Copies of this chain bind each other. A is one copy, B any other.
Amino acid sequence: MSYKTKQSEELIEFLKQNKNRHMTAEEVYGELHSNGSTVGRTTVYRHLEKLYAEGAIRKFLTGDNSGACFQYVDNPEACHNHYHLRCNSCGRLIHTDCDFLNELAEHIKDEHSFYLDTEKTVIYGVCEHCKANEKEV
């Protein structure tokens, strides 16, 4: 991937413009096409894989086997002190800056001899919005 091509530029640009979203490869492919791009499905997969390996994007597993989700990482360094909260209901991923995470990692290391991987750990639950909706149902 040392060459700069139209396809890779469109893909990366699209991911950057959707930093707040987490999308499956299929969604990325579909929306790029809606926007007039002609990138092939294979190319989307190949780039997502590459970008993930480089740490430029994040990868989440969905739990219902409907494919992995990807999301652009704005500032890789900044995410070391993040929680990643994922809502089981709406699927939204919430980045949360918080020092409590450091305390947690410290505690787990000291008390449980376990080295927390901030990048991979995702805290599952239900967000405020969905919690409110749940009660109506």
Contacts and interface: CB of A to CB of B under 8 A. Distances in A.
Interface of A: 59, 61-63, 65, 68, 83, 85, 87-88, 94, 96, 98, 100, 104, 107-108, 111-117, 120-128, 131
Contacts of A112: 83, 85, 94, 96, 98
Contacts of A94: 112, 114
A109 to B, nearest CB: 9
Contacts of A111: 98, 100
A86 to B, nearest CB: 9
Given A112-B94, A127-B113, A131-B115, A120 B88 contact: yes
A9 to B, nearest CB: 27
Nearest to A124: B120
